[in-house]
């Protein structure tokens, strides 16, 4: 391997070269050298953990026009290009050698061909730009959970977002005894036009698992560019598969019962209530998106990989999300993206206020109500996938264990989806294996605006992690099974569904009902309540929910609502089993236990239908 030390000494200022040299890490030097040689920036800034370095990148984002100030101190906004508003699933590919067939069920490109292509695209791509070299830590610092990462980018907006979302890692790199074990990301927004990426047709996100390296070019949307987020999740899943831990697409929160906390992790696909669940009033948030889970003393412990939130802003309002809404409307560091701006005030869909302006500036440029794009489709005031980036420390309900190097012990794991016709609002799995094989591995959810493509399509999304798998699905399922089996104390597994509808299409859940489902799960992990046994799992008793609705929401919970919500819909459940069975037949080496579990659930459902009918009231089930 070429030694880039002399090369960088000539290309960098003395101050920036000394920052790199102080790490005493040849792998870092060589990575930076390769990127500088490839991208050919006009200058290079090396970011340490100092306040001055962090402020430098923040100010650069404003100077370059990537962000602009809003009326509230610390608040800025950023626009991505009109056609750069979501993760680009089609052009996100793994670089795989021809001899490697282990990732045949994922989007891949021949490694030699892909490297040549992306390096061709990125050759001199930073000419006349400044390169930012940033160091971060995924997970709490000085922890067995920690994973180090470097982000190299020509976007100050990306660097600023990284700083809000992730813990500084320069000093951690200095302390690390293992010098070549870190994630690497190189990104360029490419040629800019009106401060947004111009050549989105050449947008590429290419993943080299062997080198733990990801290339991202001609895009600004954070899901494609903030490497430590979903791109790092892919690398971490691969890394975890080679060890004995889990990297999961989950929130992490504490739920209190009489002053005593229990911690839950939860995996929900995008737009299925994930962040709003983690932000439930009265409870505490540890994180909203990604966790690492390890076994410690026979128990499952988890940490939040991040220290901030990059959340979908659509629907965030003062009634349903009071704590988050307060953080987004008071002083503090917040980046809004792809929303409407009018007189220094941000506006978004579902904001819950009257007198929303009929003109302003948004991701389409000057906007007015009724404006249409080139295809004749109306441009809404804010994009459905508009976002906010905010530090968790700006939230009043932050749990005190965010930075605990040992993480928190998990009492429960929740799997959710967007399901209008099959699953009940809340249910406990029959066992760890049934929870992983049925609740987790069989998630279906309607697509949303968070990814490119059509909305409203039923999408198979096991563990809410399908888009980010970097190992075969069969191995991923086995990892989860094996992890639980080695625990002396397994977290209980639950499923939730906030989107069940009646035959007329009306939702059977109110938006705040999730507060009750969480409290019931909290009682269940402590064995403080009984449940009813059904063919698909254990459901709450009416008496317990009636009491909880009164205590938590001050509402009278009618028996009629309970029966509607928790009726077992046997035809729909059988149809789902049939769909899932056919899907898994397409994958290689799927654990036989998955098909056995599907068969067992199908048998229980058929016996139940024979005894009762197609639709079975919860009143027919026995207490366990």
Write down the pLDDT at residue 320: 85
Helical axes 156-165 vs 51-63, angle rounded to 10°: 140
Q: Please determine, for residue 447, whether its predicted confidence score (pLDDT) is greater than 70.
A: no
Given a cut of 80, is residue 231 above it in pLDDT?
yes
- In tens, the pLDDT along 512-533 reads 999 999 999 999 999 999 999 9
Catalytic residue among 39, 134, 272, 442: 272
Residue 103, pLDDT > 80, answer no
113 lies in the same domain as 262: no
Sorted by sequence, the CB contacts under 8 Å of residue 51 that are 6+ apart come out as none
Domain boundary among 214, 243, 272: 243
CATH number of the domain residue 421 falls in? 3.90.228.20
Mean per-residue pLDDT over the chain, rounded: 95
Helix (H) or strand (E) segment spanning residue 237: helix 230-241
Last residue of a domain, one of 341, 366, 394: 394
Distances in Å between the Cα of 590 and the Cα atoms of 474, 475, 484, 593 are 5, 8, 18, 8
Residue 423 and residue 321 share a domain: no
Both 433 and 522 in a single domain?
Answer: yes
**Domain boundary pick from 243, 271, 297:** 243
- If asked whether residues 267 and 324 sit together in one domain, one would say no
C-alpha radius of gyration, the chain, whole number:
25
**Cβ–Cβ under 8 Å, residues 395 and 275:** no
Left (φ > 0), alpha (ψ -120 to 50) or beta: where does 212 sit?
left
442 catalytically annotated = no
Q: Are residues 336 and 448 in the same domain?
A: no
The set of residues, in sequence order, having a beta carbon less than 8 Å from that of 531 and lying 6+ positions away, is: 428, 524, 538, 539, 540, 541, 623, 624
pLDDT band of 455, cuts 50, 70, 90: low
Position with higher pLDDT, 418 vs 597: 597
Q: Which CATH number characterizes residue 100's domain?
A: 3.40.449.10
Judgement on whether residues 236 and 256 belong to the same structural domain of the protein: no
Enter the tokens of residue 450.
Answer: 């968070």
In percent, the amount of the chain with pLDDT more than 70 equals 98
pLDDT of 262 higher than 90:
yes
Residue 421 confidence (pLDDT) above 80? yes
Q: Is the pLDDT of residue 614 over 90?
A: yes
Cα 190 from chain centre: 25
The CATH code of the domain that includes 324 is: 2.170.8.10
Same domain, 498 and 432: yes
How many structural domains compose the chain? Answer: 3
588 falls within a domain: no
Q: With a cut of 90, say whether residue 237 has pLDDT above it.
A: yes
Q: For residue 203, is it within any domain?
A: yes
- Both tokens assigned to 599: 């068969």
Q: Rounded to whole angstroms, how far apart are CA atoms 219 and 204?
A: 8
Q: Which residues span the domain enclosing 361?
A: 310-394
Q: Say yes or no: 427 and 542 in one domain.
A: yes
In a domain, 79, yes or no: no
The answer to whether residue 219 sits within a structural domain is yes
Q: For residue 197, what pLDDT is reported?
A: 96
| Residue 522 lies inside a defined structural domain of this protein | yes
Q: Is residue 587 part of a domain?
A: no
Residue 48 pLDDT class (50, 70, 90 cuts) = very high
């Amino acid at each position: 391997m070429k030694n880039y030390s002399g090369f960088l000494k000539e290309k960098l200022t003395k101050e920036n070269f000394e920052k790199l040299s102080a790490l005493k890490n040849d792998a870092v030097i060589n990575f930076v050298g390769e990127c500088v040689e490839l991208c050919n920036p006009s200058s290079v800034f090396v970011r340490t953990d100092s306040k001055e370095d962090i402020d430098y990148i923040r100010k650069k984002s404003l100077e370059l026009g990537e962000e602009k100030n809003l009326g509230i101190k610390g608040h800025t906004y950023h626009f991505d290009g009109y056609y750069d508003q979501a993760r680009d699933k089609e052009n996100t590919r793994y670089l795989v050698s021809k001899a490697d067939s282990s990732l045949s069920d994922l989007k891949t490109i021949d490694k030699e061909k892909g490297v040549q292509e992306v390096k061709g695209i990125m050759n001199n791509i930073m000419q006349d730009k400044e390169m930012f070299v940033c160091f971060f830590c995924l997970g709490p610092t000085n922890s067995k959970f920690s994973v180090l990462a470097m982000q190299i980018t020509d976007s100050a907006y990306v660097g600023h977002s990284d700083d809000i979302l992730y813990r500084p890692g320069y000093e951690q790199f200095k302390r690390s005894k293992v010098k070549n074990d870190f994630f690497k990301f190189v990104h360029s927004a490419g040629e800019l036009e009106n401060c947004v990426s111009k050549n989105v047709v050449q947008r590429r996100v290419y993943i080299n698992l062997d080198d733990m390296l990801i290339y991202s070019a001609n895009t600004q949307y954070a899901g494609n560019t903030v490497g430590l987020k979903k791109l790092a999740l892919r690398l971490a899943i691969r890394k975890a598969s080679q060890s004995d831990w889990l990297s999961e697409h989950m929130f992490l929160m504490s739920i209190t019962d009489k002053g005593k906390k229990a911690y839950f992790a939860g995996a929900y696909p995008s737009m299925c209530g994930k962040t709003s669940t983690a932000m439930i009033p009265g409870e505490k948030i540890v994180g909203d998106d990604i966790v690492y889970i390890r076994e410690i003393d026979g128990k499952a412990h988890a940490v939040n990989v991040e220290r901030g939130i990059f959340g979908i802003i659509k629907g965030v309002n003062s009634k349903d999300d009071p704590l988050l809404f307060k953080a987004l409307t008071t002083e503090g560091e917040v980046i809004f993206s792809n929303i409407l701006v009018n007189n220094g005030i941000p506006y978004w869909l579902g904001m819950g206020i009257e007198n929303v302006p009929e003109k302003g500036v948004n991701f389409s440029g000057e906007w007015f109500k009724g404006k249409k794009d080139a295809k004749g489709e109306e441009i809404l005031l804010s994009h459905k996938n508009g976002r906010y980036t905010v530090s968790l420390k700006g939230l009043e309900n932050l749990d005190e264990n965010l930075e605990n190097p040992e993480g928190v012990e998990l009492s429960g794991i929740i799997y959710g989806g967007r399901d209008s016709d099959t699953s009940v609002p809340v249910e406990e799995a029959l066992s760890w294996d049934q929870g992983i094989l049925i609740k987790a591995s069989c998630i279906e959810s309607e697509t949303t605006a968070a990814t490119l493509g059509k909305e409203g399509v039923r999408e198979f999304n096991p563990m809410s992690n399908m888009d980010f798998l970097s190992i075969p699905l069969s191995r991923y399922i086995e990892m989860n099974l094996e992890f639980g089996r080695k625990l002396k104390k397994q977290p209980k597994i639950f499923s939730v569904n906030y989107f069940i509808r009646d035959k007329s299409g009306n939702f059977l859940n109110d938006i705040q009902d999730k507060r009750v489902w969480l409290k019931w799960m909290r009682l269940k992990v402590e064995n403080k309540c009984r449940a009813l046994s059904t063919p698909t799992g254990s459901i709450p008793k009416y008496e317990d929910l009636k009491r909880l609705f009164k205590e938590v929401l001050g509402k009278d919970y009618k028996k009629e609502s309970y029966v509607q919500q928790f009726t077992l819909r046997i035809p729909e459940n059988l149809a789902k089993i049939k769909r899932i069975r056919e899907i898994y037949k397409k994958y290689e080496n799927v654990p036989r236990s998955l098909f056995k579990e599907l068969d067992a659930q199908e048998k229980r459902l058929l016996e139940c239908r024979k005894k009762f009918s197609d639709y079975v009231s919860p009143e027919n089930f026995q207490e366990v």
